[in-house]
Amino acid sequence: MIERFGLHESTFDPLWYTHWALAATLVLPILAGLLGARCAPRRLFPVALACLPILLAGALLVFDYQQAGLLRWQWQVAGVEISLRFNGLSGLMLMITQWVGAAAALYTPGHLRITHPGKRARWLWPLMGVLISSLSLIWLAADLLTLYAALELMGLAAVGMLLLSGKPAALKAGIRYLLLALVGSLAYLLGVALLLGYWGALGLQALAEVVEPGPVTWVAAALIGAGLALKAALFPLHGWLTPVHENAWTPVSALHAALVIKASLFILLMLWSILLPGTLLAPRFVAWLGMLAIVWGGLIAWRADSLKTLVASSTVGQLGYLMVAFPLLLGPSITPLAEALAWEGFWLHLMGHSLAKAAMFMAAGNLIIATGESSLRGLSGTSRRLPLSLLIFGIAAVTLMGLPPSAGFTAKWLLLQALVISQQWVAVAALLAGTLLTAAYVFRVFRYSFDETAPRHQYQPLAPGMDIIALCLALAAFALGLLAHLPLALIQGGGV
Amino acid sequence: MIASFDVIQSGLALGLVVVAFACLFDRHLLRASALFVLFALLMSVSWWYLSAPWLALTELVLGMVLTGGSFFYALRAFPSAAMAAPHVDGSQHVLSHRLTRGLLALAWCAMIGVAIHYVMPEMAYSFAGHPLILASIVIAATAMGAFALHRHLLRRLLAFNILGSGVFILLAGMAGTVSGAQALISVGLTIAWLGTLLGVMLIRHLVILEGVSALEDENDAAGQAQ
Amino acid sequence: MITLLLLAALLWPLCVAGSAIWHAYRTPAANRHHFSLLWISASWPALLLAYGGEAQWSIDAWMLGGYWELNALSRPWLAFTAFLWSLAAVHARGYFVAEQANAQVGDNDAQRRLQRLALLWPLTFFGNVLLIIAQDIASFYLGFALMTFAAYALVVHSGSDDARLGARAYLILAVIGEGLILGGLLWAAGTAETLTLEGVREGIAGAEQGAMMALLLWLGFGVKAGVIGLHVWLPLAHPVAPAPASAVLSGAMIKAGLLGWINVLPLGVEGLSPALTQLGNVMLVAGLAAAFGAALYGVWQRHPKAVLAYSSISQMGMLTAMVATGLAAPDVWPLLLPGVVLFAAHHALAKGALFMGTSISEHMPRWPQPLLFALIALPGVSLTGALAAGLLSKWGVKSALYESQHEQLIMLLTLAAIGTAALITVCVWRQWQQRQSEGGNAFQWGAWLVALIAALITPIWLPLPDTSMMAPPMEEWLGIVWPFPVGVGVVAVSAYLLRSVRLTAPPAGDLWWTYSALVVRGLQSVRFIAHTCERLKIASLARSLAFEKALMGQLQRWLPGEGWMRRHGSGLMMALAVVLAFLLMWEGLR
């Protein structure tokens, strides 16, 4: 399990250009963001130009990993050891981060041009840059200090972005999120304090070598778990999520739902698999919460009145699928086959959900911008006027529902297989019920949109590219199901 | 020497706990903010005694001056027409709400206590031998409870800061002032300041947009529930 | 050259059909002539093709890969089929003169019916040709299905109630038959992984479940060929169809079923499984039962065409019995096959001539009546084996059976010929009773006369292998000829004996009425079940709606829980930490 996170010695030292690729990955987004604040781009072209080197750097890192295996870096800064590592999983998450980030960045100029948000909009670019950089750092970090710093940086940037829309509701939701995120990371820090005090190690690899089960480990794991669960919006700590997404700008919601909450989940799974290998009850408890999350998120989304609430609530349910996999990844006496299936299903679902949810937020944002109404009722008549946006919504929904051949289907299939092998029938039932509920709330949207009786609205025309980008994301989520072997090969190979 | 040291340390610990409690449960916001500045000062002194002068300086600058200043900055945005009223958090909580928060805080106390009992086995023999750690456990658990209890945003922000301080002392007390711990604490302090600043700016915005009543989270929750 | 001929044979009917559509839209109704020379010529290229010699084609681009062949079997088959179609087309021109005239003066109904016939006639013929030359499954099936379904228009032509009944019977059985054929072909093709009919034959012979496949195919083609039990459409459809349509139905299309058997059943293959041999015995019994049963039932019919339909069933029963020997006694088959082909060809032309004859007796030309009725009876006499081609064809079958000592079968077939003679006698007699002298048309009786002559001299023009035909030795003549006078005698004696008894004729279509009664009974029970289900559905719908309402109410009460969780996020986080720590400790310390 620990090997899968790349916490072991590497065979080869990184090559000279790998260092540059790493630096580019971590620093370029911030630089590009600052540049964006200065120039405030109003067209796609300069944004694409800025994204290109970042994407290339990420691709180069993945390429190096495929050539040389695990890559490690260690620096001694003022007596503190900072270590990074790059394995297949990091590569995968990095790619998803960069591509979704690039899509959001490309979507932004059009969005800003139509909504005219005023001067505040400048701040979006540097915050986005910091967010992408800190996310990249989280995927790569291999010690608790770096993880903490990156997590906090990401959290603050995320809050900043969410606040930009400036509406009172957004401010309220934002400050709630801010407070909870800060407290969540303090709980994490408390756990880290216990670990550091007892084992005296901050590096994950060193920690993994010395850690043993005991009350300190358990309390630390519980504190870390609770804090990160709050930040990752795991049920029942998800309350802050919906209002935040509801009131933020579309690209911000997309980025947040696709990536930010996943980072906390990633850290949670990684730390728990170091601290709590082979425990039964706590992961099982999380899984039960996950089943509740699937049902609850589905119900909330089903009864939602506004489109963005629906999309945001569906995130709660989708995170439930990931929580259900916890006992399979951490529990004792799980057959290797089930564990491998769950591992693949977990990450595939995470990626598929990232792409699909980003696409869905963009499609929903397009619909809302075009109709000028955020409620589901306001969608009536859109089937004729905005078929493309609805189509994108539908393709993304296919992934969320888990219909073949989307990534959602493949991931759910893997998870179901693992659950069946380990005979967790309740979880199987919850997964299937979740699919039904997803279908229910998705088709509710379509029911409203195909309603032709409503009076005609004036439709706001969309900027070029807004639909296309969302479509690309949705299709990527769709195609990921067919090409699942490529990312899965990355997280299987080399890691062990 | 040891005895005198202990006395000072115990005095510091007691002072920290008392000031923290006062700050957490004072309904008058201006006074609570002032108490927080006092608390930060005591923290700085504690760092000095734990032989971490660098941290003491950081705490003085980040914790006391900048963070404390932020609170006053927020309070200045409150409407000055009725000087007395806006600076008091008038929200009332039902008994069960307080009771559960109290119990949860106690549970946290016990939980962290158990863990620390294993980290520092010698504490089992001389319970008062590490008064700062003891104080930090109490402060952290209480601040967490207070955070969960309060609805007023400014008070929650205060509770968060005190919780942070409690965690930092705990960290320093257990891990010593090794470089790793110092780095964690420095990062934590910076983040706490940044977070507070962001929060304060938000609060100012909110007050300007919607008035003081918007700061009580309950309203919006009640609105959502309807 | 022959490929060009093939193209012409296949495309020309399609062109004719196209021109029928063209005329329907372009030519004014008053001078629309449905049965032009062009229309009559639809089958001529195919007839030429039959005499063009043997050839093979394989066309990869065609569907699953076409493989067509003109061989010793398909050439004579194509020859008599195309010949009969040509004659029937000429006859049709005369037959429909009155209707055509009606249509031209503005009878829209007649206009519509004639258009339908003119369009679907060449299409039916196209299907027939395709299935004869096809040696791959896809083409064969395409041809067969096209022929089957296009022929519906031929049956339903007059549009009367009886015609609709006959057409419905035809269609229902045709659909059942197509289903059986498709099932059998797909099963066999899938098992043997083949795309050709030869592969199907080999596959059935070798497969474990070969007998089941063969049974499916036998019954499927048996619908066309009038196997007993599945024959009921024949006596219903023939009396109501126009005479030329009856001629091709009974002459050419029925034979397509026979060709289907010959093409797909492993006839004459040594070492068949016992199950297949058993199937052969069943076929033999079914064939003989049809041969006798149809004769016994048919003689009571009033309508001459119904009598002829039963005669067809009887004749096809004999052919079924012969095909069955190919399974039951494979060694006879190579000798028997030329006889079967000749038998089929002769029956096609003779039956065509007889059906055309029914229209002649309804529109008699001004000829001496004895001569006319002698001519009408002549193909029937030949069919019993008493003279000319009939004699030769009977002998062709008999000699083969003699050589392999199947005396019993010969005996039975000979007895069946008495039935044939009786049926023919009754038919001519009925025609005599119902004769009408309304003046014939030259096309009508010309085609009939040609068909008659062609039937009598079948072996001369049929492109059979040279060695396969020989005249019977003189001493055998009597053995072949005697059933005819006996049959006539039996009918005369019975008629004399029963002259005072008033018998009601049993309805044409015999088992059809049993079937339909059964189906009606079945439908009633299905309707009852459907009604019950309907009530059940309404009840469960109401219950579901009530349940949904209750659920929604419950849900509305729960949903504020979301707000609660939002307000108590931090408290819940604390609780989660405590619970997790508790769980971990409990598990760890236990």
Asked if A238's CB is within 8 angstroms of C559's CB, the reply is no
Which residues 189-228 of A are in CB contact (within 8 Å) with B? 189-190, 192-194, 196-198, 200, 202, 214-216, 218-220, 222
Check: CB of residue C134 under 8 Å from CB of residue C140.
yes
Mode of pairing for the β-strands spanning C55-59 and A80-86: unpaired
| Residue B220 pLDDT grade (very low, low, confident, very high; cuts 50, 70, 90) | very low
Q: Could you tell me if residue A480 is inside a domain?
A: yes
End-to-end CA distance of chain A: 9
Asked if C574's CB is within 8 angstroms of B148's CB, the reply is yes
> Hunting for tokens 């029938």 — which residue is that?
A425
Weakest mean pLDDT among A2-16, C66-80, C162-176, C188-202: A2-16
Q: What's the token pair of residue B142?
A: 């209480």
Q: Where are the domains of chain B?
A: 2-225
Taking 70 as the threshold, does the pLDDT of residue B84 lie above it? no
- Mean pLDDT calculated for residue range B161-173: 86
Q: Is B175 on the interface with A (CB under 8 A)?
A: yes
Q: Could you tell me if residue A55 is inside a domain?
A: no
C-alpha span between B137 and B132 (Å, rounded): 9
Could you tell me which of A233, A180, A487 has the C-alpha nearest to residue A345? A487
Q: Could you tell me if residue A39 is inside a domain?
A: no
Q: Is B167 on the interface with C (CB under 8 A)?
A: no
| Residue C530 pLDDT grade (very low, low, confident, very high; cuts 50, 70, 90) | very high
- Mean pLDDT calculated for residue range C168-188: 92
- Mean pLDDT calculated for residue range C557-581: 86
Check: CB of residue A430 under 8 Å from CB of residue A291.
yes
- β-partners of residue C196 are C136
**Number of B–C residue contacts, CB under 8 Å:** 35
- Mean pLDDT calculated for residue range C320-343: 87
C-alpha span between C468 and C445 (Å, rounded): 33
ipTM value, please give it.
Answer: 0.89
| Highest-confidence segment of B110-119, C151-160, C403-412 | C151-160
C-alpha distance from residue C587 to each of A280, A283, A284, C8, C543 (Å): 8, 12, 12, 88, 46
A73: part of which helix (H) or strand (E)?
strand A71-77
Say how many CA atoms lie within 13 Å of A153 toward its Cβ.
22
Could you tell me which of A63, A61, A38, A35 has the C-alpha nearest to residue A49? A35
Taking 90 as the threshold, does the pLDDT of residue A10 lie above it? no
Asked if C585's CB is within 8 angstroms of A180's CB, the reply is no
- Mean pLDDT calculated for residue range C79-103: 90
Three-class secondary structure of residue C70 per DSSP: strand
Q: Is B152 on the interface with C (CB under 8 A)?
A: no
Three-class secondary structure of residue C136 per DSSP: strand
More confident residue, B176 or A145: A145
What pLDDT is stored for residue B214 in this prediction? 66
Mode of pairing for the β-strands spanning A71-77 and A80-86: antiparallel
Which residues 71-90 of A are in CB contact (within 8 Å) with B? 78-81
What pLDDT is stored for residue B219 in this prediction? 44
Q: Could you tell me if residue A381 is inside a domain?
A: yes
- Maximum Cα–Cα distance across chain B: 64
What pLDDT is stored for residue B225 in this prediction? 37
- Mean pLDDT calculated for residue range C211-215: 91
| Average pLDDT, rounded, for chain A | 87
Q: Could you tell me if residue A307 is inside a domain?
A: yes
- Please report which residue ranges of C363-498 form alpha helices under DSSP H: 369-384, 388-403, 407-433, 442-456, 458-461, 474-481, 483-497
C349: part of which helix (H) or strand (E)?
helix C333-362
Q: Is A216 on the interface with C (CB under 8 A)?
A: no
Q: What are phi and psi of C232, to 5 degrees?
A: -65, -20
Taking 60 as the threshold, does the pLDDT of residue B127 lie above it? no
C-alpha span between C53 and C72 (Å, rounded): 10
Q: What's the token pair of residue C505?
A: 């004729």
**Number of separate helices (H) and strands (E) present in chain B:** 9, 0
**Number of A–B residue contacts, CB under 8 Å:** 130
Cβ neighbours of B52 in A, within 8 Å: none
The subunits that touch chain A, with at least 3 C-beta pairs less than 8 Å apart, are B, C
- Mean pLDDT calculated for residue range B4-30: 80
Cβ contacts of residue B102 below 8 Å, gap of 6+? B145
Geometric angle at alpha carbon C588, from C584 and C589, rounded to 5°: 120
In a mutagenesis test of the B interface, which of C562, C567, C568 is the best target, namely the one with the most B β-carbons within 10 Å? C567
Taking 90 as the threshold, does the pLDDT of residue A100 lie above it? yes
For chain C, give the percent of residues with pLDDT over 90. 34
Category of C159 on φ-ψ map: left (φ > 0), alpha (ψ -120 to 50) or beta: left
Check: CB of residue A376 under 8 Å from CB of residue A368.
no
Taking 80 as the threshold, does the pLDDT of residue A128 lie above it? yes
**Number of separate helices (H) and strands (E) present in chain C:** 26, 2
What pLDDT is stored for residue C314 in this prediction? 92
Domain around A451: 281-496
| Average pLDDT, rounded, for chain C | 88
More confident residue, C530 or C228: C530
Q: What are phi and psi of C209, to 5 degrees?
A: -95, 25
Closest residue in chain C to residue A223, using alpha carbons only: C577
| Residue C27 pLDDT grade (very low, low, confident, very high; cuts 50, 70, 90) | confident
| Residue C522 pLDDT grade (very low, low, confident, very high; cuts 50, 70, 90) | very high
- Mean pLDDT calculated for residue range C541-567: 87
pLDDT in tens, A379-406: 877 777 788 888 999 999 988 888 888 8
Three-class secondary structure of residue B183 per DSSP: helix
C-alpha span between C337 and C332 (Å, rounded): 9
What pLDDT is stored for residue C26 in this prediction? 83
- Mean pLDDT calculated for residue range C222-244: 89
- pTM for the whole structure: 0.68
Closest residue in chain C to residue A301, using alpha carbons only: C559
Taking 80 as the threshold, does the pLDDT of residue A496 lie above it? no
Could you tell me which of A126, A136, A108 has the C-alpha nearest to residue A24? A136
Q: How many domains does chain A have?
A: 1
Geometric angle at alpha carbon A379, from A377 and A383, rounded to 5°: 140
Check: CB of residue C454 under 8 Å from CB of residue C389.
no
Facing residue for A194 by CB, picked from B115, B157, B188? B115
C-alpha span between A85 and A267 (Å, rounded): 14
Check: CB of residue B150 under 8 Å from CB of residue B89.
yes
| Residue B152 DSSP label | B
| Residue A457 DSSP label | P
pLDDT in tens, C8-18: 888 999 999 99
- Mean pLDDT calculated for residue range A487-493: 78
Rg of chain B taking only CA atoms, in angstroms: 18
For chain A, give the percent of residues with pLDDT over 70. 98
Taking 70 as the threshold, does the pLDDT of residue C227 lie above it? yes
Taking 80 as the threshold, does the pLDDT of residue C502 lie above it? no
Q: Could you tell me if residue A478 is inside a domain?
A: yes
Weakest mean pLDDT among A188-192, A218-222, C585-589: C585-589
What pLDDT is stored for residue C467 in this prediction? 63
Whether a cis peptide bond, with omega within 30° of 0, leads into A236 is: yes
What pLDDT is stored for residue B87 in this prediction? 67
Could you tell me which of A470, A51, A477 has the C-alpha nearest to residue A250? A470
Cα C45 to its chain centre, rounded Å, is 23
What pLDDT is stored for residue C368 in this prediction? 85
What pLDDT is stored for residue C407 in this prediction? 82
C-alpha span between A176 and B148 (Å, rounded): 12
Q: Is C492 on the interface with A (CB under 8 A)?
A: no
Cβ neighbours of C572 in A, within 8 Å: 236-237
In a mutagenesis test of the C interface, which of B151, B217, B224 is the best target, namely the one with the most C β-carbons within 10 Å? B224
| Average pLDDT, rounded, for chain B | 78
Could you tell me which of A462, A473, A472, A468 has the C-alpha nearest to residue A112? A462
Three-class secondary structure of residue B88 per DSSP: strand
What pLDDT is stored for residue A287 in this prediction? 92
Q: Could you tell me if residue A441 is inside a domain?
A: yes
C-alpha span between C478 and C490 (Å, rounded): 18
| Residue A495 pLDDT grade (very low, low, confident, very high; cuts 50, 70, 90) | very low
For chain A, give the percent of residues with pLDDT over 90. 29
What pLDDT is stored for residue B213 in this prediction? 67
C-alpha span between C250 and C427 (Å, rounded): 15
Check: CB of residue B226 under 8 Å from CB of residue B198.
no
What pLDDT is stored for residue B32 in this prediction? 85
C-alpha distance from residue A273 to each of A4, A184, A207, A337, A412 (Å): 10, 20, 12, 18, 22
Q: Could you tell me if residue A128 is inside a domain?
A: no
Asked if A168's CB is within 8 angstroms of B184's CB, the reply is no
Cβ neighbours of C553 in A, within 8 Å: none
C-alpha distance from residue A495 to each of A8, A67, A85, A166, A274 (Å): 9, 13, 11, 44, 16
More confident residue, B32 or C220: C220
pLDDT in tens, C286-329: 999 999 999 889 888 888 899 999 999 999 999 999 999 888 88
C-alpha span between A96 and A79 (Å, rounded): 34
pLDDT in tens, A280-304: 888 999 999 999 999 999 888 888 8
* Separation in Å, CA of B68 to nearest CA in chain A: 17
Taking 90 as the threshold, does the pLDDT of residue C210 lie above it? no
C126 class by beta-carbon count within 10 Å (0-12 exposed, 13-18 middle, 19+ buried): buried
